[in-house]
Structure 1
Amino acid sequence: MASRKSPLFDTATTVGKIMSFLGVSALCGLLAAGLVFPLAATGGAAATAGSDVLEEIPTELSEEPLSTPTRVYASDGETLIATFYEENRQPVSSDGISQYMKDAIVAIEDERFYEHGGVDARGAARALVHNLTSSTQQGASTLTMQYVNNVLNNAAVVRGEGRVLFSGINDKTYADKLREMKLAVAVEQEMTKDEILEGYLNIVLLGGQTYGVEAAAQYYWGIPASELNLQQSATLAGMVQSPNYFNPEYNQDNAKWRRNVVLDNMLSLGYITEEEHREAREAELGVDPHPQPQGCANAELGAYACAYVQQLLLKSDVLGEDQEARDNLLNRGGLNIITTLDVDTQRAAEAEVKATVPPGDDSGAVASIISVEPSTGNIAAMAQSTEYNPAGEFANGETTVNVNVNSEYGGGGGFPVGSTLKPFVAAAWVEEGGSMADIVDAGIDNPEQGDWFEASCLPRGGFRLGVESDSSDGDAWELENVGDDMNRRMSIDYGLYMSVNTATAATVMDMDMCAITDLTDRLNIVNARSREGMNPTSPSFTVGGTELAPLTLASAYTVFANDGVQCEPRVIQEISDWQGNSYPVPEENCEEKMDADVAAQVNDTLVNIAERSPTNNSPFPLGDPPFPMLGKTGTSGENSHTWFAGSSKGLTSVAQVGTFHNNEPLNDKRIGDFGPVERVYGSSIAQPMWYEYMEEVGRNYDTGDFRESPNSEFNNRRESYPRSGALPGGRNGGSSNNSDNDSDNNDSSDEDDNNDDDD
């Protein structure tokens, strides 16, 4: 160890000069004679004079809360999700500690504990003689002094100062020892012996990351400290001298020898009888390790939600002003963090994604589900079809990348969202005074370089496609529809229902692009990697030419279920520590982002999309959903990512199935039990997964009706829509017998052929 200058002692002080003059032997002599401290065994003028010499050493013990594990719970406040700790400790009162344990620690560490006043002059003299006559060194620390040392270390670590004092006698300067002694005397004047013993047994290291007798009893034998028997107590007491060398889990011979030394001491001091001594010495150690797993990799459920919570806290100033302080409090602060996760909803989401795409599936796909309560913004579930493992490989179905969130919180770069953004174009149209019944020409040719788009928020009031410097759509905006007879005049409603790309493009070209981006900005629709909003000079985003995180999409869709009101997503609802202190967390933050009548008009179409049966093996009969629902499919231009974003009145969920790397198409692949099929769409696999999940959990939330559209004439037209059931590529890869017009499978692609849609 590099030499260090103790922050507790400066040789330039009066005390330092005196100690340098006296030297080591004189110091030991003073301690042995009991002249330095007013101990219970001494008194008089000599002790008083000795105390005067040490007046400059502080007597106040600088304490910080004991380092204890942080626990993360589901919304019920009882279901444990994960634990974080640097020191696994479970503080317990003196009444919760076996008397055998108390006697054992006194017998081996400080047999005169109940007789001295903090520093044992007799013990110091014994140590002096031993050190002068032996090649080994022996300390004279009492239990009180050890307690002081541990408290000082804990305080230093909690404050981020590192461990400044050490248990080994060779690690301490004389100043450290003097301070420890004086503080021990002060502690004895403020605390009872039982309180000191309780504090010591809660703070002491007992192997690995296990601290205190309660955590140790639970770890080594799976019992509370109150049930420790004689031999178990002696084993733990024996570990104090060297927690690793005498560890009963790894060094049983050493541990048994040391245990027997403790038992011998207990017998000689009268704590146990001859019979108890003999039986305990003959007993096996009986160690039955009960590891206390920690971190999100060992989460009971919701491992990726756990990681999201961790990322949020480490990036927020709630737990401290900097990363080190936050990490320290998270791992040492004994926090109780109650999340918004619903246990049943989370378990259902995890089961559904893994049933759809088993971890490590040969397809290279990953399935995800995110659920948000529209009325609160509370995240009820966050799941994906991989296992959270920092050392894992995706090929084995393991990764720490959280596909549901933005990259800044441990996510990837998001996925191309396909036609799931089309409803927001329709909503912007209605906001501008239009109607879902308005007719657009979906037979337009592909927009070409130089075509003018209105954009009032730009300096020139618009831009020319592919000409403006901030445009990313290249020479032309290439569009493609899947299905016959789609390049014709149709209502905006019908174009959205059938997911006709040219209908959306025609809508965009007939309106102000900035009206669309104004709405997407209000709804916090941002790119998953750059966190930038939609670019009005890149109209391809309107048919899916952008990468979003599922949580972003789910939050945006809540406005349709919640009458235009969006509540900021949140996953933490309460943080407190073991002392009862509370920490600020985001409150429910809801704001009207869209007029309720606008949402209701768009919902007319979204309800009809969601309530038709997408596949031959749909979980509910055609046209007979279990409760009102709305939603929209989405498929990327390369058929690499498929989506269904939708909602009941009480739960908005986004289901996604897509390739994890390189936007490789899902076409002609077997994905779990699905396929292979020639072309994979949102209606093929993501939508059925969404239905089955919502069928299971939806009734646990509000299943009421959505707000009715004020346009009653428009509502009465609904019977003209195609209602046939199976769409291309059912859940089990079955063929479709419906006409192209019945399909919700319309694709488009931009110049780069990597961002557009659809389903």
Structure 2
Amino acid sequence: MVSPASDSHQGKLQAWFQFIAVSVIAGVVGAGLAIPSVGVASAGAESAVDIFQALPAELEERPLAEQSRMLAADGSEIATFYWQNRREVPLEEISQEMQDATIAVEDARFYDHGGVDLQGIARAVVHNVLSDQTQGGSTLTQQYVKNVLADNAHAAGNREGVEAATESEGTAGYARKLREAKLAVAVENKYSKDEILNRYLNINNYSGSPNVYGVEAAAYRYWGKSAADLSIAEAAMLAGIVKNPSAFNPERFPEQTLERRNVVLGLMLQHEKISQEEYDEAVKTDLALDIHTTPNGCAAAGNMAYFCDYVQRVIENDAAFGETKEARQDFLQRGGLTIKTSIVPDIQKAADKEVKKRVPVGDPSGAGHAAVTVEPGTGKVIAMAQNRNYAVAEGEKGSDTQINFNVDNAHNGANGFQVGSTWKPFVLTEWLKSGRGLDDKVNATKRGYPASSWRYEGCEGYPAAWAPSNAGDGKGSSSMSVLQATKSSVNTGYAAMANQLNMCGIVETAMDLGLKQGTGESLDEPDKDTGLVPALMPSSVLGTNEVAPIDLASAYAVFASGGTYCRPSPITEITDRDGEKAQLPDAGCTRVLDEKIADTVAYALSQTFNGGTTSSLKISAPAAAKTGTTNFEVGHTWLVGFTKTLSTAVWTGHPDKSMDWRTNSKGTVRGFVYGATYSGKTWQAYMDKAVKHTKGNTGFPRPSGTSGGSAGGSSGGSDDPAPAREQDGGNEPDARGAGQDAREPAAPAQEQATGDDGGAEDSAPAREPENEGDGATGAPGLGG
């Protein structure tokens, strides 16, 4: 058994050998820097100088990883992102107490040496020979160099480089110190002492759970304050942590940290950084921690979490922010960015409230319910909500998910959902582009169309025999105006229209308006399993295409803006840590429709509020809208509508599969569910609040020069002349009541849901009938 005395003797022998080794290093440094030194043999010195001169002479300093902040349109903070939790600040924003504590404990001669302190090395060696406790001889500048080398290696994922930068034992340890010594001198030649101190205070690891880096983040973590406001005791605690951030973690080891802090206070007194009175007062205090969390990522973004995730995916996916995904992630997590976004908190709050009120989070039906709003003419994403809790990992089924129902697969969304009759406006657009008008008559009776009757010009066709139906198997008029077919969403009327058009043209028009598959692929891309292009099949007229809600909202915004399409754009500005603006991806705002055609479609959709499928969904501003209902077996329903300033898509359905709500006996969503039943009610309640935050909702009059006359066709009745047809701001139910359209069955009373302000929702979805439903026999998942 080795005695303590023997251990002490061995330790002093090791210290003596360390003294010899460090003396050699000191000699090398001295020779290399023309600093007088003694005790080094001439030949050895010359050899050592050669080695020293071969070492790197310049420190590579990459920008430190720093927090990025995401802001809403009003400047409020949404989220922070970081690889290391750090916020750099200039020296003038760090308290003098913090500066003094750091110098006292790390390098009392900091302002007296040139980066390598030979006097300090000699003193440390003598101390280590005579004492059982070791003392370092590295200067603050050398420690800064070590931190930079380790940080560079860590950022590059080079574990061996990190170990090499922090090696302290044997020959490798002395080699590291030699390299640090030379680089420290280079740093001293490059920066002033205050600049070096500032950089040191911003790079340090100040422990914590999780770790915080730099004194500003540390001050916030432990006391919720700025580094400028640190007291003597607080500064001493932080300065003491640096020696061993793991051992002196104040959250895990407060007693050890307190003891270490008091050592620093003693050194501050010894080096006359504080008075005896200040020391006596500070040493009596406890750590007084007041832990503040800086969330990392979107999980803490509240009702903006899904929007936050969408912005994150936009940055990670777009080459404007870096050549590779890894580079783009670094840009976000290390760049110290300020990301200003387009989301409007008051409008977002309304969207989140109404979506979750209509179909609550965790509703036993399992129904997904989502809403997204874009600004016509700019593409700015104003609001984005869904009835789920945002979770980084999939949690409780029906309650927690990271999947964003509003966006496409490329942006962490689903693969889109069948759109039903919300597709009809694109058929109408092609109808108008072909030179036809709203008052043209079509044969809307139920009939079959042979495969040979479908036109495909300019693309590969997928003709098929098709015999579409209306909901309830009702009969359409043999002479129905296109406007009336639009107002009442008559499937057979739109089938007759599409049969006169080029199917390739309908798809091209939809693509011009920004539509793509929810997978992110082009609408004309064949299905990988079947080899077919769903958008080119006759049944696509009734909405078999699977599209993300944000893309539908953006497409409808073209009608609101008079023909201009803009890609959805959630980011308005990004500035880096130096205040320089980053290049943003262009929204690509382009005129894609003749203004008169866009205005005519907008006018036609505004008439759905005038005796049409959205009559009970009026809001306090002029609006235009279209309901969408797929086959009941598919179970997706929509309301996509707009004012001059806001275009909103609301979707209801099962996010994972088709769901026949008629067979569902649990939760809110059940029975005969149409576009106006849930999606429509949410759209109405939300948009009625949202429009109060915008100006310029002037409505959609009928453009002059379009074919006029009675729009009622053989269905009877006529439309009022524009602009009297515009919204009157009322909220009364459809005057025609449950008997409006025998083609669509009334929904049972069990479909009631909680209405606005706790009142009962209108219980008769028959007041919102929509001429949608069965579609073609044998077409699974067909939207009506």
TM-score of the pair, normalised by structure 1: 0.87
Q: 1:33 to 1:591 in 2, by over 3 A?
A: closer
Q: 1:100 to 1:121 in 2, by over 3 A?
A: same
Q: Which residue of 2 aligns with 1:12?
A: none
Are 1:504 and 2:529 counterparts? no
AA in 1 matched with 2:86: R
Q: 1:125 to 1:603 in 2, by over 3 A?
A: same
Residue 606 of structure 1, CA deviation = 0.6
Q: Distance in 1 between matches of 2:146 and 2:31?
A: 18
Question: Residue 714 of structure 1: SS of its match in structure 2?
Answer: coil
Q: Which residue of 2 aligns with 1:375?
A: 377
Q: Which residue of 2 aligns with 1:72?
A: 70
Q: 1:81 to 1:754 in 2, by over 3 A?
A: farther
Matches within 5 A, 1:404-423: 404-423=406-425
Are 1:746 and 2:762 counterparts? no
Q: Which residue of 1 aligns with 2:764?
A: 736
Matches within 5 A, 1:159-174: 164=162, 165-167=164-166, 169-170=168-169, 173-174=173-174
> What's the CA shift string for 1:202-245, capped at 9, x where partnerless?
11000133111111111101111122112211111111111121
Residue 652 of structure 1, CA deviation = 0.9
Query: Is the Cα–Cα contact under 8 Å of residues 353 and 368 in structure 1 kept in the other structure?
Result: yes
Q: Which residue of 1 aligns with 2:530?
A: none
Are 1:29 and 2:32 counterparts? no
Question: Residue 677 of structure 2: SS of its match in structure 1?
Answer: helix
Residue 170 of structure 1, CA deviation = 3.4
Are 1:647 and 2:658 counterparts? no
Q: Which residue of 1 aligns with 2:607?
A: 608
Q: 1:98 to 1:715 in 2, by over 3 A?
A: farther
Are 1:327 and 2:329 counterparts? yes
Residue 643 of structure 1, CA deviation = 0.6
Q: Distance in 2 between matches of 1:139 and 1:306?
A: 47
Q: Which residue of 2 aligns with 1:102?
A: 99
Q: Which moved more, 1:530-539 or 1:584-593?
A: 530-539
| Pairing partner for 2:700 from 700, 706, 713 | 706
Q: Which moved more, 1:257-266 or 1:413-422?
A: 257-266
> What's the CA shift string for 1:341-371, capped at 9, x where partnerless?
2222222212221122221111111211111
Residue 116 of structure 1, CA deviation = 2.2
Residue 516 of structure 1, CA deviation = 1.1
Q: Which residue of 2 aligns with 1:633?
A: 627
Q: Which residue of 2 aligns with 1:204?
A: 204
Q: Which moved more, 1:137-146 or 1:497-506?
A: 137-146
Q: Distance in 2 between matches of 1:586 and 1:328?
A: 18
Q: 1:265 to 1:45 in 2, by over 3 A?
A: closer
Question: Residue 593 of structure 2: SS of its match in structure 1?
Answer: coil
Question: Residue 166 of structure 1: SS of its match in structure 2?
Answer: helix
Are 1:513 and 2:510 counterparts? no
Q: Which residue of 2 aligns with 1:663?
A: 658
> What's the CA shift string for 1:385-407, capped at 9, x where partnerless?
21211134252511110111111
Q: 1:257 to 1:615 in 2, by over 3 A?
A: same
Q: Distance in 2 between matches of 1:378 and 1:587?
A: 12
AA in 2 matched with 1:103: D
Residue 646 of structure 1, CA deviation = 1.0
Query: Is the Cα–Cα contact under 8 Å of residues 305 and 382 in structure 1 kept in the other structure?
Result: yes
**Identity, % of aligned pairs?**
36
* Aligned-pair Cα RMSD in Å: 3.1
| Pairing partner for 1:111 from 108, 111, 115 | 108
Q: Which residue of 2 aligns with 1:470?
A: none
Q: Distance in 2 between matches of 1:444 and 1:615?
A: 24
| Pairing partner for 1:683 from 670, 676, 679 | 676
Q: Distance in 2 between matches of 1:359 and 1:516?
A: 37
Residue 482 of structure 1, CA deviation = 3.2
Structure 2 unpaired stretches of 5+: 1-16, 525-532, 721-733, 739-745, 754-759
Matches within 5 A, 1:708-727: 708-711=702-705, 714=708, 717=711, 720=718, 724=735, 726=737
Q: 1:530 to 1:264 in 2, by over 3 A?
A: closer
Residue 68 of structure 1, CA deviation = 0.7
Q: Which moved more, 1:122-131 or 1:283-292?
A: 122-131
Query: Is the Cα–Cα contact under 8 Å of residues 619 and 695 in structure 1 kept in the other structure?
Result: no
Residue 39 of structure 1, CA deviation = 7.4
Q: Distance in 2 between matches of 1:524 and 1:35?
A: 66
Residue 607 of structure 1, CA deviation = 0.6
Structure 1 unpaired stretches of 5+: 1-22, 467-475
Query: Is the Cα–Cα contact under 8 Å of residues 650 and 683 in structure 2 kept in the other structure?
Result: yes
> What's the CA shift string for 1:541-592, capped at 9, x where partnerless?
1101121100111111112111222122211221220112322112342222
AA in 2 matched with 1:456: E
Q: Which residue of 1 aligns with 2:184?
A: 184
Q: 1:363 to 1:110 in 2, by over 3 A?
A: same
What is the aligned residue count? 714
> What's the CA shift string for 1:415-441, capped at 9, x where partnerless?
111100011111111211222222222
| Pairing partner for 1:400 from 375, 381, 402 | 402
Q: 1:725 to 1:58 in 2, by over 3 A?
A: farther
Are 1:522 and 2:512 counterparts? yes
Q: 1:334 to 1:601 in 2, by over 3 A?
A: same
Query: Is the Cα–Cα contact under 8 Å of residues 374 and 558 in structure 1 kept in the other structure?
Result: yes
Q: Distance in 1 between matches of 2:29 and 2:444?
A: 100
Q: Which moved more, 1:321-330 or 1:215-224?
A: 321-330
Question: Residue 72 of structure 1: SS of its match in structure 2?
Answer: strand
Q: Distance in 1 between matches of 2:674 and 2:131?
A: 82
AA in 1 matched with 2:703: S
Q: Which moved more, 1:324-333 or 1:184-193?
A: 184-193
Q: Which residue of 2 aligns with 1:557?
A: 556
AA in 2 matched with 1:481: A
Residue 105 of structure 1, CA deviation = 1.6
Q: Distance in 1 between matches of 2:412 and 2:518?
A: 11
Q: Which residue of 2 aligns with 1:486?
A: 476
> What's the CA shift string for 1:146-201, capped at 9, x where partnerless?
11222333344556656545345239554432221112122223333222222211
Residue 66 of structure 1, CA deviation = 1.9
| Pairing partner for 1:60 from 58, 61, 67 | 58
Q: Distance in 1 between matches of 2:100 and 2:33?
A: 23
| Pairing partner for 1:149 from 137, 146, 149 | 146
Q: Which residue of 2 aligns with 1:125?
A: 122
Q: 1:253 to 1:613 in 2, by over 3 A?
A: farther
Q: Which residue of 2 aligns with 1:20?
A: none
> What's the CA shift string for 1:528-552, capped at 9, x where partnerless?
0251315464121110112110011
Q: Distance in 2 between matches of 1:750 and 1:137?
A: 86
Q: 1:179 to 1:318 in 2, by over 3 A?
A: farther
| Pairing partner for 2:443 from 424, 441, 444 | 441
Q: 1:25 to 1:516 in 2, by over 3 A?
A: same
Query: Is the Cα–Cα contact under 8 Å of residues 710 and 718 in structure 2 kept in the other structure?
Result: no
Q: Distance in 2 between matches of 1:340 and 1:715?
A: 43
AA in 2 matched with 1:89: R
| Pairing partner for 2:354 from 345, 352, 355 | 352
Q: 1:220 to 1:229 in 2, by over 3 A?
A: same
Query: Is the Cα–Cα contact under 8 Å of residues 630 and 772 in structure 2 kept in the other structure?
Result: no
Q: Distance in 1 between matches of 2:709 and 2:217?
A: 65
Q: Distance in 2 between matches of 1:752 and 1:232?
A: 74
Query: Is the Cα–Cα contact under 8 Å of residues 564 and 594 in structure 1 kept in the other structure?
Result: yes
Question: Residue 645 of structure 1: SS of its match in structure 2?
Answer: strand
Query: Is the Cα–Cα contact under 8 Å of residues 483 and 711 in structure 2 kept in the other structure?
Result: no
Q: 1:744 to 1:568 in 2, by over 3 A?
A: same
AA in 2 matched with 1:434: R
Q: 1:726 to 1:119 in 2, by over 3 A?
A: farther
Q: Distance in 1 between matches of 2:471 and 2:180?
A: 80
Q: 1:224 to 1:726 in 2, by over 3 A?
A: farther
Q: Distance in 2 between matches of 1:257 and 1:479?
A: 82
Q: Distance in 2 between matches of 1:35 and 1:180?
A: 11
AA in 2 matched with 1:655: V
Question: Residue 95 of structure 1: SS of its match in structure 2?
Answer: helix
Q: 1:132 to 1:667 in 2, by over 3 A?
A: farther
